[in-house]
Chains A and B, each alone.
Chain A
Amino acid sequence: MKKTTHSCFLLIILLIRMVPSLTSTVNYTDPTLEPVVTENSVIRQKIIDSQFKCYERMNRAPPYRKKGLFCNRTWDGWLCWDDTPAGRITAQNCPDYFPDFDPTERASKYCDETGNWFRHPESNRTWSNYTLCNSFTSEKLKMAFILYYMAIVGHALSITSLLISLAIFFYFKSLSCQRITLHKNLFFSYVLNSMFTIAHLIAVVPNPGLVKRDPVSCKVLQFFHQYMLGCNYFWMLCEGIYLHTLIVVAVFAEEQRLHWYYLLGWGFPLVPASIHAVARAKYFNDNCWMSVDTHLLYIVHGPVMAALLVNFFFLLNIVRVLVTKLRDTHRAESNMYMKAVRATLILVPLLGIQFVIIPWRPENRLAGEIYDYIMHILMHYQGLLVATIFCFFNGEVQGALKRQWTQYKTQWGQRRREHCSTRSTSYTATSITEVPVYLYHHDSNNEQLNGKYIDDSELVALKSGETSA
């Protein structure tokens, strides 16, 4: 079993093994002491299957060619061991037959200098070291549960914050512009992604019976899961491309056709998801497509990483343009654009970093645990992060909310004092001085804002921060 690159899913797979039979911890350190006929026929089936594959391999593999003493290839009752040079310890991943065996731990076997496999000193039988396989199981189980619940909480929080943000964006028509439209689509894709992930975590992962039955529905769920993952990252790319076109290519132009963005964000991710489904069904058709031990996953993750890279380069280019070219000519605007770009510039590396550091899980136990926690937070709290950075920390949104709040307070005060005439002064100017208006400009058809119509001249007045009382 190759070392997997997705430790989050590793722990979830660990969970699959652990959850059904928490009560029966087995003390199997020496397989040959137990009779082959165990009570559990499923386990026995797995072992016989492995045995068959082992002898097949032993039969077909070419004989040992190198010089020197070596230990003959052998089946030790649980795992297959190849020809090993004398004096060497060989290791491989623990098997997954028993609930308390961790397939990410290593089992080892020592070939001594005389070319014989190590014999246990007490029993004088050929012995492989499986002690690491079930030694840390209870702590790992606890941590796997913590991470599992953390993932569910993360996605639930993400869904909540994203729905609140979407509500804010839809309610405050003054905020709506093309960039916010892109935000809305991005948030929507995150909501769907979180929903599918929660469905997967709750319905499939703790349910080995379902995994064993392997219905088509759980593969369809995986398909949509991969599709939504692609959508997330391709909508981030759309945001980057939009900003790039706005700032670098067609400087300060306002209207772009969004059709192509919709196509890239919702349409294109179908391609890698479908190719992955076809390849998985044909070449690696495991139960519920849950295994992460396959390079076929790169069919989806490859384009995602490409999108992140492209996005990163676009954003760097934007920063370069803002810093160099606009600095002299449009200093004020470039600062404001910087603030707008800042949010995206923070998010893209943050979202991408999980793909970069995922292969390098530290070997040390404590460092590995910290790594797992950080990766889980990065992966499962993304929706919350995106909603916070793009919506809650947005000055325009905060201004709109403050305005609405003051309006409610005054209206409530009015209702108490029963004043009718002060209604027209309840509208106060927005504080849009941070960002140029045309980044958040109103739609071309005039929008009603608290009962007042706004035309372009007032926009300019608003920009300078004056109130229109």
Chain B
Amino acid sequence: VATACHEADYGQLMRDYCLSQFQASMEALGPRLWCDWEETLGTYGELTNCTALLAERLACFWPNRLVDEFFVAVHRRYFGGCPLSGRALRDPPAAVLCPFIALPVVGALLAAALVVWRSKRGEGIV
């Protein structure tokens, strides 16, 4: 049974139903904790579920362009001020990484030079 997906209805229902629930939870949590992923994880998950179930009911594919726009708007409203770092594991910036790598390499070369120099001047040289 292929009833086409009513995109306008879908968008409207998402805002009326799913978003309102999400808004209520987030208000209850308080703006201070919005950037705390542990706290917001559950609510965010429920929002996602809501949009997915709604899509199923309306015979829309999930996710889709409307879902993308919807979530981008949610992120802009609630998570726009959160620092991106801290959640994804990534290397430090090059300015930090390079000294970390350069220091042991230079140290190794210096240590080798030191041993060569000391063994040259050691006892037993004929």
| A and B bind | yes
Tell me the chain B residues, 16-60 only, with Cβ under 8 Å from chain A: 37, 41, 44-45, 48-49, 52-53, 56
Question: B123 touching A257 by the CB < 8 A rule?
Answer: yes
Question: B49 touching A36 by the CB < 8 A rule?
Answer: yes
Q: Which of A46-54, A351-359, A447-455 contacts B (4 or more CB under 8 A)?
A: A46-54
B15 to chain A, nearest CB (A): 16
Hey, which chain A residues are within 8 Å of B68, CB to CB? 55, 58, 72-75
Chain B interface mostly: helix
Question: A284 touching B91 by the CB < 8 A rule?
Answer: yes
Per the bound structure, the CA–CA distance linking A254 and B119 in Å amounts to 12
Per the bound structure, the CA–CA distance linking A275 and B107 in Å amounts to 12
Asked if A94 CB lies within 8 Å of chain B CBs, one says no
Question: A299 touching B104 by the CB < 8 A rule?
Answer: yes
Question: B112 touching A310 by the CB < 8 A rule?
Answer: yes
Question: B62 touching A32 by the CB < 8 A rule?
Answer: yes
Asked if A306 CB lies within 8 Å of chain B CBs, one says yes
Give the interface size bracket for B toward A: 35 or more
Question: A35 touching B116 by the CB < 8 A rule?
Answer: no
Question: B64 touching A126 by the CB < 8 A rule?
Answer: yes
Hey, which chain B residues are within 8 Å of A294, CB to CB? 89, 91
Question: B104 touching A257 by the CB < 8 A rule?
Answer: no
Question: B62 touching A302 by the CB < 8 A rule?
Answer: no
Asked if A307 CB lies within 8 Å of chain B CBs, one says yes
B26 to chain A, nearest CB (A): 14
Hey, which chain B residues are within 8 Å of A51, CB to CB? 48, 71
Hey, which chain B residues are within 8 Å of A36, CB to CB? 48-49, 52, 62
Q: Which of A11-19, A143-151, A166-174, A243-251 contacts B (4 or more CB under 8 A)?
A: A243-251
Hey, which chain B residues are within 8 Å of A275, CB to CB? 100, 103-104
Question: A310 touching B109 by the CB < 8 A rule?
Answer: yes
Hey, which chain A residues are within 8 Å of B125, CB to CB? 250, 253
Per the bound structure, the CA–CA distance linking A238 and B48 in Å amounts to 60
Contact of B61 among A126, A286, A306 (CB under 8 A): A126
Per the bound structure, the CA–CA distance linking A35 and B52 in Å amounts to 7
Asked if A263 CB lies within 8 Å of chain B CBs, one says yes
Per the bound structure, the CA–CA distance linking A77 and B48 in Å amounts to 10
Hey, which chain A residues are within 8 Å of B118, CB to CB? 257, 260
Tell me the chain A residues, 46-71 only, with Cβ under 8 Å from chain B: 48-49, 51-53, 55-56, 58-60
Question: A75 touching B112 by the CB < 8 A rule?
Answer: no
Per the bound structure, the CA–CA distance linking A241 and B118 in Å amounts to 11
Question: B62 touching A77 by the CB < 8 A rule?
Answer: yes
Q: Which of A264-272, A399-407, A421-429 contacts B (4 or more CB under 8 A)?
A: A264-272
> Are A56 and B75 also in contact (CB < 8 A) when A32-B61, A48-B45 are?
yes
> Are A264 and B111 also in contact (CB < 8 A) when A126-B64, A255-B124, A291-B89 are?
yes
Per the bound structure, the CA–CA distance linking A300 and B105 in Å amounts to 9
Per the bound structure, the CA–CA distance linking A102 and B71 in Å amounts to 29
Question: A295 touching B91 by the CB < 8 A rule?
Answer: yes
Please, which residue of chain B has its CB at the minimum distance from the CB of A233? B108
Question: A307 touching B115 by the CB < 8 A rule?
Answer: no
Per the bound structure, the CA–CA distance linking A125 and B64 in Å amounts to 9
Question: B72 touching A306 by the CB < 8 A rule?
Answer: no
Question: A296 touching B91 by the CB < 8 A rule?
Answer: yes
Hey, which chain A residues are within 8 Å of B89, CB to CB? 284-286, 291, 294
Asked if B97 CB lies within 8 Å of chain A CBs, one says yes
Question: A241 touching B115 by the CB < 8 A rule?
Answer: yes
Question: A125 touching B61 by the CB < 8 A rule?
Answer: yes
Question: A261 touching B63 by the CB < 8 A rule?
Answer: no
Hey, which chain B residues are within 8 Å of A303, CB to CB? 104-105, 107-108
Per the bound structure, the CA–CA distance linking A68 and B47 in Å amounts to 35
Interface set of A (CB-CB < 8 Å, partner B): 32, 35-37, 44-45, 48-49, 51-53, 55-56, 58-60, 72-77, 125-126, 234, 237-238, 241-242, 244-245, 249-250, 252-257, 260-261, 263-264, 268, 271-272, 275, 279, 282-286, 291, 294-296, 298-300, 302-303, 306-307, 310
Extra 4 A-B pairs, beta carbons < 8 Å, given A249-B119, A260-B119, A272-B104: A35-B53, A58-B75, A271-B107, A284-B91
In order of increasing CB-CB distance, the 8 nearest A-B pairs are A255-B124, A303-B108, A272-B104, A36-B52, A59-B75, A125-B61, A302-B105, A283-B92
